Each structure stands twice: as structure tokens, then as C-alpha cells.
Structure 1
Amino acid sequence: MEIREMRPADWPQVFSFFSAIVDEGRTYAYPEGLDAEGARRLWESPGRVVVAVDGDVVLGSAGMGPNRPGRGAHVATASFMVAPAARGRGVGRALGKHVVAWARSAGYRGIQFNAVVETNTAAVRLWQALGFHVVGTVPGAFRHAEDGYVGLHVMYLDLVDVSDGV
């Protein structure tokens, strides 16, 4: 598996699993039924987008950038999607590690995930294994397709080395 910058030719494969995941209604609060262009604008909105590939097959993707503009731009954010056929192969973990390394090297002081669906236990476990903590949960903030109103976790990873006095 290789992780690299997303290329225009990758988007049709990303859009295929993007739309399937959004339409499932279990993990993303994006609007259902987005066309390819609208979905691409949302997915690329944080700034940098990468894909995990095996040859010509896109296994997953991550978009990353500053969580907020201006005085909040020192904290990164990211979104992740793994193609259903590639789940359980370590794609999410590899993308997560890539994003953490990227954020560290880019000088971010932390990474904040704004909306991790609390019933998405695989994602919550993965982010906790990578050092993220749930700093709060907004009750009923996500309308899950099967479970109704469930909470959205805000998760955070501190990237500041407290020993350097920064």
C-alpha cells in the first residue's frame, strides 16, 4: 500500500466509496445525494488530500488541513474514508499515521476531529490507539440511519512536546 497525493484521475474511485459511505448514514453528516463535483469540493475543503492505493486501486482517502482559519489555524483536522472492500486491511490506521506525521512536520500544535460518531466504535478505538482523546461529546448531534440521534465526539491529539516549553 502506498499513500500519495490524490490525483484528478483518482476522484471517480474516491467518489464511489464516498457516496456509498455518506448514503449509509452511519458515519458522516454530509448531505446525501451529492453529485461528484459537490462531493469533491467538500472532500477537498480542508486543503490537502491523499489516497491509499494498491497499484491502481484506491483503498481509502484522507483530507487534512487547518481546523479553523486565522487564530485557530495552528490546530489541524482531518477526515477519513476507507472503501468498504478494503476495510480490515489497516488502511485507516495507515492514513491516520500519515496524517499525524504530516501535522507534526507541518508544525501544527494538535489535531482535532470535530465529529466522530460515537457509535462508530472502530474509528473511536483507532483514534484512541493513535493517542487521541475524547474531549467532549455533543449528545444527539448525529441522526444515525439505524440508531436515531447519537452523539458526536470531539477528539483531540496534542502534538506539543511539553518538555520544549512551547
Structure 2
Amino acid sequence: MSELTHIDDKGRVRMVDVTQKKTSQRTAVAQAVVLMSAETFQRIAAGTVSKGNVLETARIAGVMAAKKTADLIPMCHPLNLTHVQVDFFPDASSHTIRIEGTARIVDQTGVEMEALTAVCVAALTLYDMCKAVDKAMTITDVRLLKKTGGKSGTFVRENTTHE
């Protein structure tokens, strides 16, 4: 197991010093899945949710959240993201919407937290817009699918669907 880099030798939390790290292109892809009733799924697909276009609102929320990650996660570095994308993969047979978020940067630290924050906030926005119809929706399977760049190189989660 690797050393916990957010803790100093006295056990105090700290932001990791990345001053000496080399910049590289870094990408992270994360996902979240929202399970819902058939009625909720159909209303989202048909665009008949009374609060408006659920997926486009969730997409905007996810992008905005990625840009605010350092304000939400205490030890994250504020980053100048070069790209954030949030996509939706509805599955009518399981009444689920898989949300995939991609974040990209050329910098000294990774963008995993930004991709994860994007999908979490997109999922929460989807829930918020549909909760009047379906309070039993479940947000699940939040996880990093892939990351590239940096000293640790490439990570690809096995048995996942992503580009």
C-alpha cells in the first residue's frame, strides 16, 4: 500500500506539495448510475418532467461541479481544467441512467476527483429534478473507470463500459 500523502510525519492533514512534479496531460473518467422506476425513466426520456430538461440540467450541474471540486474537497488543488464532459447512457430495460464524466488537464496533479464530483453532482441533480415523482431513486456505482497521465501512469478498471 502506498504512503498516505495527505498526512505529514506528525499526523496532521495537509495539501500535497506538487511543486516538483512534472506536468503532463491527465485524464480521468468516472461514472455513477441512477436507478429509478419505469415511470420516472419514461418521463425523463419523453421530456415530460415538470422541472424541465433533466439530462441537460444535470449535464450543466456536473460540469459546474467539476470546476468547483477544490471548494468542496478540502485537500484538492484548484485546477485549471481544459475539458469536462458529462454524458448519459439510459438503459430502458433496467430503468437506469449511467452517467459518465470525463475531466482533462495538463498539470502537475490528477483530475480523478473532478470527474467523480461531476458524476455525483449530475446524479444528485437528476434526483432533485425527479424526486416529486420517485423518491425511491438510488444513486449507485460511483467509481473511477480510467485515469491516464502522471507518475502512476494509466489505470483502467476491469469489466466496465467506457470509451
Question: TM-score higher than 0.5 here?
Answer: no
When normalised by structure 2's length, the TM-score is 0.32
| Structure (1/2) with the larger strand percentage | 1
Structure with a larger share of its residues in helix: 1
Q: Which has the higher contact order (CA 8 A, sep 6+)?
A: 2
The TM-score normalised by the length of structure 1 is: 0.31
Structure with max Cα Rg = 2
